[in-house]
Structure 1
């Protein structure tokens, strides 16, 4: 469906039945999660397995919903049109594949924008997709949920970061001793500094050593305050703390550190890297400049503006919390939502038995 058609036909077949969770026999076990972020719109459709879930279908598109938001406080018309087109494509996919349960969330851009909820109301009317604006805390919890399977015996704590488009989320996590017990969120920090907001504010500056270091200093100052509250550096020195990163920035660093000829998720997701190798990859990316980044197979022209701002945030995290290794996660809110929905479905069945 084209943009004009979507606007002109608000009564087009809705996916309300999908949102409520179609209970048909052929849809048993199919779940879907949608995440509308500041930079990307992502959909994941999956079926549960004994050890997790199997991806049935997916969708990802850069929509730059937060473009200009830092200056105006509102979602721009062009940004809303791009997001609406992507969301209509998601709705079309869901119409072809009814699911048992579906959840859709919106994050920082819709949290901050004065017209964010009005935009989501329009999306609901046009597509039948009902997106819920989640808090920064829930965002951190969902990221923790998705990355929990990457924790290993011997981990006492985990420090998880997610460098998003409009914000950076930090989760400080207690890992339980009891096998099978879920991790606990001790504290979280949400900085209104993401790759889109920093790219718009810093512009060309992140491509210079001085501008890059200024962003590192700014982010590090915020992180140091969080460290003083939770004494994370002290825990790291005591041992048993796993540093985990989930974002395009850290997966790109992993792809470069591993010298991949093109990005491949199965090779990156769950990979534990020596932080020295990741730091060297950061230096390689910075040295490439704009043209080199656009041609790099792990970056490309669509992400060239956002890589170095994200690397500056990563460098600040490394400065405040130096660890020998980092676990890279190519997973996030959608995987966390799917895990929660599937666990909720299994619960009643166990109680019934």
Structure 2
């Protein structure tokens, strides 16, 4: 038995998911296995009130296989819960007993409120929500859980019968869905929300959603944008995109929906009802911004297990900056060099920001990319810039969207060697605007890497002045900086090309110059926000 390994199983109305993790201390863990099986446990439940024999057998088969996988990892404990379908079914207790007999698993049938708490635990672990009024929701096959909160303070918690399977079986009989059916569906969702939610609806700044419907929405929107990400965790979209997506889905029959890029064919029959519920939720709370939590309840189970074992530290404010620095440290980067390059990059950024309309979002991309640009050394020196791209792209970084991870990976990739080319697939799949942003920010990073050629922070201060098409950099320090000037000239090509600027380097040696206060603490300019 491995004491640092835990497993969690979420038995939902539509699917059964299991996850196996290995804890690393300080509340952190890495995923060893993640299994999902579509069982449709709630199939026909609305009409009969019972779990059907076919769904019963599918559940036993899936859980037997998942239990064998879990046993193979020799985990110390298993957290297994069942949600809406098992709560509602008249034979739910009998199925719990059958699962225990066939697999040895002890299943806890949790309430809707407990389900909401697990979803909130995961969302608060993954997103910066301090001081933000927000709504966390998890939509499954049978129910929809809602948690409205301000920062870490919960205002209201609800579990409503608004799951995708339940709504489909209750309202959608035709294919494609008829306008009258869709209108009745919308009316029911609105009435349910209005009756159940008694709190203040205004002032919500964002929604954080989890569940198969939400990840399917993200996958379809990403496909329509031509985006390809390994993970959609942290993906962001606007309600306008959801409205257009729903209009398209409602026009199509099941056969057409099954062929849609980004949509799992097994979910095609319930997707219209699921997306309608999310759309009505955004309309009800007048929120324009949706963030995707890929992890949801099963991660909540892991976090709860860590808390019960006193392995989850007291909650503290998480920072995207610390996340980037921790990742760089885990790759054994030269931290002094990383901090110096980030410091110099910020100074050039501020000189150019007004010219290109850059703000805090662009600054945090450059800052984090600068800190992580050399993580590829962890694999090898040769082509380490390319290794940096892949490591950053796949990193589990707090506070960054999939698009932002892709941009940072590209910015870091061009800190040395070749400039962006049409044959570079990772660059050409970006939008034209993002290609230009990567080239300009990558040019800054590339130049600043040259400005610390000896990796000893000899450039103590960098003064930047821009006049039309001329960028003048004055390097200040207390010793010879000829190597740094040479390095900067050699690596100024991308910045000059992307920004259409001519670079002039000047040197000022001052033996009395002291290093800027606070640099060792990786401090940023005043007003530079942590929150994304």
TM-score range, shorter chain: 0.7 to 0.9
Matched, 1:143 2:119: yes
Matched, 1:234 2:202: yes
Q: 1:72-110, CA deviations, whole angstroms, 9 ceiling, x for partnerless residues?
A: 111111110011100101111122111122110001111
Q: Please, which runs of 5 or more residues in structure 1 have no aligned partner?
A: 1-23, 176-182
Structure with greater contact order relative to length (CA < 8 Å, sep ≥ 6): 1
Segment drifting more, 138-147 vs 270-279: 270-279
Segment drifting more, 150-159 vs 319-328: 150-159
Q: In 2, distance between residues paired with 1:154 and 1:307?
A: 32
How far is 1:262 from its partner? 9.8
Select 2:165's aligned residue among 196, 213, 217. Answer: 196
Alpha carbons of 1:286 and 1:155: their partners in 2 closer, same or farther (altered >3 Å)?
A: farther
Residue of structure 2 equivalent to 1:68: 44
Matched-pair contact (CA < 8 Å) for 1:265–1:330? no
Count, aligned residues? 312
Q: In 1, distance between residues paired with 2:72 and 2:126?
A: 33
Matched-pair contact (CA < 8 Å) for 1:28–1:99? yes
SS in 2 for 1:251: helix
Matched-pair contact (CA < 8 Å) for 1:253–1:282? no
Select 1:186's aligned residue among 155, 172, 187. Answer: 155
Alpha carbons of 1:265 and 1:110: their partners in 2 closer, same or farther (altered >3 Å)?
A: farther
Q: In 2, distance between residues paired with 1:349 and 1:166?
A: 33
Residue of structure 2 equivalent to 1:210: 180
Matched-pair contact (CA < 8 Å) for 1:36–1:105? yes
Q: Please, which runs of 5 or more residues in structure 2 have no aligned partner?
A: 315-532
Select 2:14's aligned residue among 27, 39, 45. Answer: 39
Select 2:74's aligned residue among 88, 92, 98. Answer: 98
Residue of structure 2 equivalent to 1:324: 288
Residue of structure 2 equivalent to 1:223: 193
Q: 1:286-344, CA deviations, whole angstroms, 9 ceiling, x for partnerless residues?
A: 33332221112322331111100101211211221121211111111110010121233
SS in 2 for 1:259: helix
Q: In 2, distance between residues paired with 1:122 and 1:28?
A: 28
SS in 2 for 1:269: coil
How far is 1:123 from its partner? 0.8
SS in 2 for 1:79: helix
Segment drifting more, 311-320 vs 265-274: 265-274
Q: In 2, distance between residues paired with 1:297 and 1:262?
A: 10
Q: In 2, distance between residues paired with 1:304 and 1:97?
A: 34
How far is 1:152 from its partner? 2.2
1:161-180 matches, cutoff 5 A: 161-175=137-151
Residue of structure 1 equivalent to 2:276: 312
Matched, 1:125 2:89: no
Q: In 1, distance between residues paired with 2:214 and 2:195?
A: 23
Alpha carbons of 1:263 and 1:216: their partners in 2 closer, same or farther (altered >3 Å)?
A: farther
SS in 2 for 1:100: strand
Q: In 2, distance between residues paired with 1:38 and 1:130?
A: 18
Residue of structure 1 equivalent to 2:209: 245
Scaled by the length of structure 1, what TM-score is found? 0.82
Q: 1:227-277, CA deviations, whole angstroms, 9 ceiling, x for partnerless residues?
A: 4x111x2233xxxx3211112222222222222699977441112222222
How far is 1:209 from its partner? 2.4
SS in 1 for 2:309: helix
SS in 1 for 2:34: strand
Scaled by the length of structure 2, what TM-score is found? 0.55
Select 2:307's aligned residue among 343, 350, 353. Answer: 343
Matched-pair contact (CA < 8 Å) for 1:262–1:298? no
Segment drifting more, 147-156 vs 257-266: 257-266
Matched, 1:289 2:257: no
Q: In 2, distance between residues paired with 1:261 and 1:272?
A: 12
Q: CA RMSD in A?
A: 2.3
Alpha carbons of 1:324 and 1:193: their partners in 2 closer, same or farther (altered >3 Å)?
A: closer
1:263-282 matches, cutoff 5 A: 266-282=230-246
**Largest Rg, 1 or 2:** 2
How far is 1:278 from its partner? 2.6
SS in 2 for 1:129: coil
Q: In 2, distance between residues paired with 1:120 and 1:154?
A: 39
How far is 1:174 from its partner? 3.0
